[in-house]
Structure 1
Amino acid sequence: MTIESNRVTDSRSNTILDRFCIEILPQIHDKVESLTLQACFLPRVLHATNYLHLRKLVIINLELSMACHIFNEKSPFIHVFKEQISELILTIGDEILDESNVKLLTDIYNRIFGLFTNLKYLDLDGDDTYAFSRSLLTGLSSTTCCSSSIVHLRIKMQNIDDCLYLLDGRLSQLHTLIINLDYIHDPVQIRLRSSNIIRHSLKIMNNLCRLEPLN
């Protein structure tokens, strides 16, 4: 089931959504296994009824402020779905242009990895205007972005070091890693140490990688 609109204030869209939430969803709620929706509609749709068989959730254009609110151990969303969702696909709509947003994004990612106990498939995408090049995970505990359930991860990263951190064992069940890597900023400094890389069958795909010349 897909619910999309680029205009949250569109009166026609709101009228349709109201009818959908009030009249239709309560009748089919026990048959809904997958939801795809714009983040602005998430509260209304999830509050409309109970989704006992919802396993896959796709959220489009999710703002960081809203992500902090819903991916919180005390939020009703997590209380209901932390053991139920097995496939989560997110597109972050905010531009990541400063250090505060980098820290916020890292915190949100860490919460997602830790809060969903039965999550198998995770897809984390973001705005194309990432302006930072430093690693998100450097200096953080090895329990950051840790999961014993995720087997398939697709993620947008900016620094090759983060890709290596994700392969150090913190994702113990991972068998497929798909990376959208914008730049390898310093290829000469890359050091792959086999003792730090998980040693089981792993399929790694790099969607996009560009080398940035050294000055």
Structure 2
Amino acid sequence: MEYSFIQLNDLPDEILIIILKKILNLEVLYSLIGVNHRLNTIAHDSIFTSHLTLMRYFSDDSIYPLSDPTLNRFCLQILPEIHHKIKWLDLESSSMERILLTTNYPNLCGLGLYNISIEKALSLFIDESSLTYINKNQISSLVVNIKYEKLGLAEGVRELIFTNIFTLFTNLQYLNFSIFAIYNKRLPLQISSSAVISSNLVLRNSPDWSIVRPMKM
């Protein structure tokens, strides 16, 4: 292991970055931050810090939180160190609140929230306490993946979530909202036009997903 590290550390920065780009950003940050000054500087490059997916996902589309040691290190050391460089975060339900409240994210413009329950969605977009350190006016892209439950998502609840999303994120230009059932089968989603409250947004429906984009003027 020590020999491999010496060989890696001897590579020119350009070659090392090409190699590291083939690895998940979270693995680069977890492995290199704090090792030495040179590797720390490389790990801080926007290539590895601008878009972070802080969850584990597998080929069958299943999603799991990071292991406790990994999550602890990100929350206690890595995220506070690179918080101003992060432009997009992909998070899963059980760890998203801790990550969002770990530090402020002054340049965050994109947020992906995956595998969240209806209750979590309502709490997140109505209570807002988990979004304290986010400049909500700066968020232009939002992905929300709702975990389907036995009771489904009633029309009134659906519109309440949408209304609060558009109220909170006043500069939202892109919204991808989806509901996944057991075995990750995506469910149809029909949304009333009354859920859209901004004249600068248009809602397009399809059988299994909906996207909000800016209207062309």
TM-score with structure 2 setting the length: 0.59
SS of 2:138's equivalent in the other structure is coil
Q: Hey, what does 2:93 align to over in structure 1?
A: 39
Q: Aligned runs of 1:37-186 on 2, under 5 Å?
A: 37-72=91-126, 74-78=127-131, 80-95=134-149, 97-98=151-152, 101-127=154-180, 128=185, 130=187, 136-137=191-192, 143-150=194-201, 157=207, 173-175=214-216
Contact 2:55–2:64 (CA<8 Å) still a contact in 1? no
Give the C-alpha shift of residue 76 in structure 1. Answer: 2.7
Residues 22, 117 of structure 1: alpha-carbon distance in 2 compared, 3 angstrom cutoff: same
Distance 2:108 2:128 in 1: 18
Contact 1:82–1:115 (CA<8 Å) still a contact in 2? yes
- Could you list the runs of 5+ residues in structure 1 that have no partner in the other structure? 176-199, 201-215
Contact 2:92–2:116 (CA<8 Å) still a contact in 1? yes
Size of the aligned set, in residue pairs, is: 155
Indicate the RMSD between aligned Cα atoms, in angstroms: 3.3
Q: Does 1:4 align with 2:73?
A: no
- Could you list the runs of 5+ residues in structure 2 that have no partner in the other structure? 1-51, 57-62
Distance 2:150 2:156 in 1: 10
Distance 1:172 1:90 in 2: 15
User: Which amino acid counterpart does residue 107 of structure 2 have in structure 1?
Assistant: H
- Give structure 1 regions of 4+ aligned residues with deviation exceeding 6 angstroms: none
Give the C-alpha shift of residue 106 in structure 1. Answer: 2.6
Give the C-alpha shift of residue 101 in structure 1. Answer: 3.4
